[in-house]
């Protein structure tokens, strides 16, 4: 390919790496000098109410690494704070660029923002080049025989796998072309305070940061991938990859991960590949059914379910004080680390909707504020799955029993004890339902319920018929 563009601007967004990067690869091959930039988009930042948000610090570390890597080869990363609709055209002018390169974003806000920028640039004959990078297959790449989007996972997955096997996975090796990075020096990286934020507890939660951190996690997971199918449902076992935040911000490449899964060729790796395909599945749902981005249920008939929405119960759920140890442990993991194990996300989302009778949208919002890996597509997909309002969701009458889930997936209570230390003295049986054992013999029980740890805020058996009636009314 000729590099017939003189200067171009590469805009990094949720693709914070310099390897296997589609837009960077294309920009480097088509241009004589590529300027890389990142904008802290104040329209997004303004909505973040928690000032020590872990995600901002995660991004900050990733940018620091990219800036250092670029500095090592004579280039730099331009970092600005403000509205990209104004800043991108102004950077294009400042650096005399004749093209903008970026990887596509599939969320409504970003699509509209990017369209505005593209239109502004077009007026000055500046071309915008957009690429698929976040997902393996996007939008309408995998359709049913009737050319409509899939709404059921299994046939989608089968077709996805067929396409992977037929087409292979193309990676974008930027290394040989990095000679075309613009040689210049920019101002130093702003502090978190300059961006309007402050340090979080990210450095104490043992989360490897940046592309290097992503590589560390990949290396570690490769030694465990063969057991993924056996271990992935147990929060007390190191069974999953913990790569979701890196997928969210693109500090690893999804094609790289898919290749690892394919090359490993074990039951564990194919189960893991399925999870990467779930990710693509929810991205295509977001693109093809955009109404879900506006707080609407995937299935319209469930839009106005008559939830009880009791604020005290919601607050107890948020704090991890429901009296259901597995739920409380998961919520406390979320609050203290920003991560929650997938099995717990399912149990806890189901519990909020079907035991507490609270609108799934309240839970979705809380997760969106606290999850370090928050992704609109997967979060909405997960919540609507648990709430039985989504595509390919669990049926409304299928209601997780938190006690059975706890006994099955944290049999020794190891995970519960880590996050609910007041239950430390309870044995394997007591830990899952302390109130039952306490009520039998309050004076001999190691802790005092109601003081040391709450009684259950609802009775699971009594809630079940209520939620079924609620759905039946709307069906």
Ligand X SMILES: Cc1cc2nc3c(=O)[nH]c(=O)nc-3n(C[C@H](O)[C@H](O)[C@H](O)COP(=O)(O)OP(=O)(O)OC[C@H]3O[C@@H](n4cnc5c(N)ncnc54)[C@H](O)[C@@H]3O)c2cc1C
The binding site for ligand X (CB under 6 A) comprises 232, 240-244, 247-248, 275-276, 278-279, 282, 342, 345-346, 349, 367, 371, 373-375, 378-379, 381-383, 386
Looking from the CA of 377 toward its CB, the CA atoms found within 13 Å total 26
CB of 282 to ligand X, least distance (A): 5
Nearer to ligand X, 78 or 371 (CB): 371
> What are phi and psi for residue 379, nearest 5 degrees?
-70, -45
Query: Is the CB of residue 277 less than 8 Å from the CB of residue 160?
Result: yes
**Closest CB to ligand X: residue number:** 382
Got the DSSP string for 223-254?
Answer: TTGGGHHHHTT-TTS--S---HHHHHHTSS-H
Query: Is the CB of residue 299 less than 8 Å from the CB of residue 392?
Result: no
Query: Is the CB of residue 204 less than 8 Å from the CB of residue 57?
Result: no
> What are phi and psi for residue 2, nearest 5 degrees?
-75, 140
CB of 108 to ligand X, least distance (A): 16
- Supply 165's token pair: 């096997």
Distance, CA of 182 to CA of 459 (rounded, Å): 64
Distance, CA of 104 to CA of 77 (rounded, Å): 20
CB of 109 to ligand X, least distance (A): 16
Query: Is the CB of residue 14 less than 8 Å from the CB of residue 250?
Result: yes
Rg (CA), the chain: 24
Burial of 46 (0-12, 13-18, 19+ CB in 10 A): exposed
Distance, CA of 202 to CA of 195 (rounded, Å): 17
Nearer to ligand X, 217 or 423 (CB): 217
Distance, CA of 202 to CA of 209 (rounded, Å): 9
CB of 277 to ligand X, least distance (A): 9
Nearer to ligand X, 75 or 269 (CB): 269
- Supply 41's token pair: 């988009």
Query: Is the CB of residue 329 less than 8 Å from the CB of residue 416?
Result: yes
- Supply 4's token pair: 């017939």
- Supply 218's token pair: 């990949």
CB of 322 to ligand X, least distance (A): 16
Nearer to ligand X, 171 or 229 (CB): 229
- Supply 191's token pair: 């502090």
Query: Is the CB of residue 226 less than 8 Å from the CB of residue 264?
Result: yes
Nearer to ligand X, 250 or 434 (CB): 250
Adjacent-strand bridge partners of 33: 7
Nearer to ligand X, 200 or 380 (CB): 380
Nearer to ligand X, 35 or 307 (CB): 307
Nearer to ligand X, 378 or 431 (CB): 378
CB of 60 to ligand X, least distance (A): 20
CB of 72 to ligand X, least distance (A): 29
CB of 251 to ligand X, least distance (A): 12
CB of 99 to ligand X, least distance (A): 31
Nearer to ligand X, 114 or 280 (CB): 280
Nearer to ligand X, 54 or 279 (CB): 279
Q: How far is CA 312 from CA 155, 306, 316, in A?
A: 42, 18, 6
What SS3 state is found at 229? Answer: helix
CB of 268 to ligand X, least distance (A): 11
């Amino acid at each position: 390919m000729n590099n017939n563009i003189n200067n171009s601007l590469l805009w990094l967004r949720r693709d914070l790496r310099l390897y296997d990067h589609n837009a960077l690869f294309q920009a480097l091959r088509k241009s004589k000098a590529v300027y890389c930039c990142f904008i802290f988009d104040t329209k997004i930042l303004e909505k973040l109410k928690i000032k020590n948000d872990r995600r901002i610090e995660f991004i900050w570390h990733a940018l620091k690494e990219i800036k250092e890597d670029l500095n090592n080869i004579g280039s730099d990363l331009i970092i600005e704070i403000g509205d990209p609709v104004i800043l991108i055209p102004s950077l294009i002018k400042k650096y005399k660029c004749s093209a903008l390169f970026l990887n596509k974003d599939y969320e409504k806000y970003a699509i509209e923002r990017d369209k505005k920028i593209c239109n502004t640039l077009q007026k000055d004959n500046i071309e915008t080049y957009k690429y698929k990078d976040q997902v393996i297959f996007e939008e309408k790449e995998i359709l049913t025989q009737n050319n409509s989007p899939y709404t059921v996972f299994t046939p989608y997955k089968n077709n996805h796998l067929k396409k992977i096997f037929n087409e292979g996975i193309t990676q974008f090796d930027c290394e040989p072309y990095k000679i075309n990075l613009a040689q210049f020096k920019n101002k130093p990286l702003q502090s978190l305070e300059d961006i309007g934020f402050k340090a979080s507890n990210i450095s104490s939660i043992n989360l490897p940061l940046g592309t290097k951190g992503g590589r560390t996690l990949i290396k570690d997971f490769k030694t465990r991938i063969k057991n993924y199918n056996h271990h992935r449902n147990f929060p007390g076992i190191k069974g999953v990859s913990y790569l979701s935040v890196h997928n969210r911000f693109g500090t690893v490449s999804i094609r790289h991960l898919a290749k690892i899964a394919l090359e490993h060729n074990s039951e564990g790796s194919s189960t893991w590949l399925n999870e990467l395909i779930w990710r693509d599945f929810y991205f295509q749902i977001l693109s093809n059914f955009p109404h879900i981005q506006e707080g609407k249920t995937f299935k319209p008939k469930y839009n106005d379910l008559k939830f009880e929405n009791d604020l005290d119960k919601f607050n107890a759920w948020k704090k991890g004080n429901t009296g259901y140890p597995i739920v409380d442990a998961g919520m406390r993991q979320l609050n203290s680390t920003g991560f929650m194990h997938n099995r717990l996300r399912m149990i806890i989302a189901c519990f909020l909707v079907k035991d507490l009778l609270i609108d799934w949208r309240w839970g979705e919002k809380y997760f969106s504020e606290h999850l370090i890996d928050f992704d609109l597509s997967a979060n909405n997909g997960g919540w609507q799955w648990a709430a039985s309002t989504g595509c390919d969701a669990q049926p409304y009458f299928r209601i997780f029993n938190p006690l059975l889930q706890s006994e099955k997936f944290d049999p020794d209570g190891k995970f519960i004890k880590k996050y609910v230390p007041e239950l430390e003295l309870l044995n394997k049986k007591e830990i899952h339902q302390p109130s039952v054992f306490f009520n039998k013999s309050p004076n001999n029980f190691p802790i005092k319920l109601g003081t040391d740890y709450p009684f259950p805020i609802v009775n699971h058996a009594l809630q079940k018929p209520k939620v079924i009636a609620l759905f039946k009314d709307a069906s």
